[in-house]
Amino acid sequence: MAYKAEYIWIDGAEPTHKLRSKTKILADGEEPGVWGFDGSSTNQAEGETSDCVLKPAFICPDPIRGGANKLVMCEVLLPGTNKPHSTNSRAALAVVAKKYAKHEAWFGIEQEYTFFEGARPLGWPERGFPAPQFGYYCGVGADEIFGREIVEAHSDACIAAGLAISGTNAEVMPAQWEFQIGPVGPLEVADQMWVARWLLYRIAEDFGVTATLNPKPVAGDWNGAGAHTNFSTIEMREADNAWDYIDGACKALGEKVMEHVQNYGAGIEQRLTGRHETAPWNKFSYGVSNRAASIRIPWQVGVDRKGYIEDRRPNANMDPYTVVRLITDTVCSSFAKGVAKAPAPKKAAARK
Ligand code: ADP
Ligand code: MN
Ligand code: MN
Ligand code: MN
């Protein structure tokens, strides 16, 4: 029997690209091949030369339609050339991932997002505001939790699609949530994150709700939405001097602050204010267990002196192809020059 392949791609919307998709009916057993779309409707081409090419990059089962149906995450190419379109950030990541493959980079991305119903966050009162932030993070109960049924449907769908989803939690601001993908390799985490985002929008649609990656969806004393990016290489995980590599990775990131921050999602200055568990966007810092630093070394990693680091700066609306490329490139190119002996980790400040 024929089946449906949902071709998903990233458009040319500014300042933040968004997802588009359309359906192709394929014969039983036919593999999803190259396809095309009208780039003049997606800010990717002029009307006279409007064709853009969709090349399948990552294919998985479609958990919404079920059966033999598939989701097909694509990259956009220029017609007749096989060259990446200017909006295609995957191509540059593929080059960097291959160049540094021997470092066996792993990424785990924490995607925060906010549900909206109409103009208000889901469950917020018609007038005024909910009670100030406190009980919502990992809360339970109808007075604190809004949209759990959507979160459950989304995580079930990610599992059925075979994505490396590793958890979900309710966030500090009511109607704000998080899911994590990883740890997996650079291309895998980014492809899967884009598919997981598409599934989130698509599933929320059936509930009459929108999900937004807006990094500061409500102004004022409400947490913004980030995409903490956890990262390790085989040296950081396994070398006898793994701690030197962990410290070296932090130092390397500290030498390219602006190049990273400018590519970590539009509106980053509004979110990285130095309040609400963030460090100021233009000041670099790192430390064990420090959630007010740019880079946090998890407490257990400080104890083991091996493991991974968490770049807390990326916005929820970041492009994972770009963030993963920058971190891989900055850290692995610095490892090629060798790492210095690092001082023993400072003990994290005891909890009050
Ligand atoms: P947080 O305490 O910051 O909320 P989470 O549990 O939400 O942390 O996310 C931690 C992330 O770190 C997960 O996505 C997980 O996949 C990822 N992770 C765990 N180990 C590694 C590793 N060695 N390298 C890269 N990422 C890792
Ligand atoms: Mn988290
Ligand atoms: Mn979080
Ligand atoms: Mn985190």
Per-residue DSSP letters for 153-220? HHHHHHHHTT--EEEEEE-SSTTEEEEEEEEE-HHHHHHHHHHHHHHHHHHHHHTT-EEE--SSSS-S
Question: Is the predicted pLDDT of residue 53 greater than 70, yes or no?
Answer: yes
| Answer CATH for 3-83 from 3.30.470.20, 3.40.50.300, 3.40.50.1820, 3.10.20.70 | 3.10.20.70
Instruction: Output the pLDDT for position 293.
Output: 95
Q: Find the mean pLDDT for residues 282-292.
A: 94
Q: What is the phi/psi pair of residue 22, to 5°?
A: -150, 165
The reply to whether ligand 1 has any atom less than 6 angstroms from the CB of 260 is: no
The reply to whether ligand 1 has any atom less than 6 angstroms from the CB of 308 is: yes
Question: Is the predicted pLDDT of residue 47 greater than 90, yes or no?
Answer: no
Question: Is the predicted pLDDT of residue 350 greater than 90, yes or no?
Answer: no
The reply to whether ligand 1 has any atom less than 6 angstroms from the CB of 186 is: no
Longest CA–CA separation in the chain, Å: 65
The reply to whether ligand 1 has any atom less than 6 angstroms from the CB of 180 is: yes
Instruction: Output the pLDDT for position 347.
Output: 64
C-alpha separations of 35 from 55, 58, 198 in Å: 7, 14, 19
Question: Is the predicted pLDDT of residue 90 greater than 90, yes or no?
Answer: yes
User: For a substitution probing ligand 1, which of 110, 236, 332 has the most ligand atoms within 8 Å of its CB?
Assistant: 110
50 pLDDT band, cuts 50/70/90, is: confident
Q: Enumerate the CATH 3.10.20.70 domain ranges in the chain, comma separated.
A: 3-83
Question: Is the predicted pLDDT of residue 171 greater than 90, yes or no?
Answer: yes
Contact present, 37 and 103 (Cβ < 8 Å): no
Ligand 1 nearest atom to the CA of residue 231, by list position: 25
How does the average pLDDT of the chain come out, rounded?
95
329 pLDDT band, cuts 50/70/90, is: very high
Q: Which ligand neighbours the alpha carbon of 173 most closely?
A: 3
Q: How far is the CA of 212 from the centre of ligand 3 (A)?
A: 15
The reply to whether ligand 1 has any atom less than 6 angstroms from the CB of 179 is: no
Q: How far is the CA of 351 from the centre of ligand 4 (A)?
A: 18
User: For a substitution probing ligand 1, which of 104, 172, 180 has the most ligand atoms within 8 Å of its CB?
Assistant: 180
CATH 3.30.590.10 fits 96-335, yes or no: yes
DSSP 225-276: -B--EEEE-HHHHH-TTHHHHHHHHHHHHHTSHHHHHTTS-TTHHHH-SS-S
Q: How far is the CA of 110 from the centre of ligand 2 (A)?
A: 5
Instruction: Output the pLDDT for position 345.
Output: 83
Q: Find the mean pLDDT for residues 292-310.
A: 97
Question: Is the predicted pLDDT of residue 348 greater than 90, yes or no?
Answer: no
Q: Find the mean pLDDT for residues 288-299.
A: 95
Q: Which ligand neighbours the alpha carbon of 108 most closely?
A: 1
Percent of the chain having pLDDT more than 70?
Answer: 98
Question: Which residues, in sequence order, are CB contacts of 288 under 8 Å at separation 6+?
Answer: 296, 297, 298, 299, 301, 302, 345, 346, 347, 348
Question: Is the predicted pLDDT of residue 302 greater than 60, yes or no?
Answer: yes
Question: Is the predicted pLDDT of residue 335 greater than 70, yes or no?
Answer: yes
Instruction: Output the pLDDT for position 351.
Output: 53
Instruction: Output the pLDDT for position 46.
Output: 81
The reply to whether ligand 1 has any atom less than 6 angstroms from the CB of 310 is: yes
**Claim: this prediction has a pTM higher than 0.75:** yes
The reply to whether ligand 1 has any atom less than 6 angstroms from the CB of 307 is: yes
Q: Which has the closest alpha carbon to 111: 301, 316, 252? A: 316
pLDDT digit string (tens) for 204-247?
A: 999 999 999 999 999 999 999 999 999 999 999 999 999 999 99
* CA–CA gap between residue 276 and residue 12 (Å, rounded): 31
The reply to whether ligand 1 has any atom less than 6 angstroms from the CB of 230 is: yes
Q: What is the phi/psi pair of residue 191, to 5°?
A: -60, -45
Q: Enumerate the CATH 3.30.590.10 domain ranges in the chain, comma separated.
A: 96-335
Instruction: Output the pLDDT for position 349.
Output: 55
Q: Find the mean pLDDT for residues 98-112.
A: 98
Question: Is the predicted pLDDT of residue 185 greater than 90, yes or no?
Answer: yes
The reply to whether ligand 1 has any atom less than 6 angstroms from the CB of 296 is: no
Instruction: Output the pLDDT for position 80.
Output: 86
Question: Is the predicted pLDDT of residue 33 greater than 90, yes or no?
Answer: yes
Q: How far is the CA of 233 from the centre of ligand 4 (A)?
A: 18
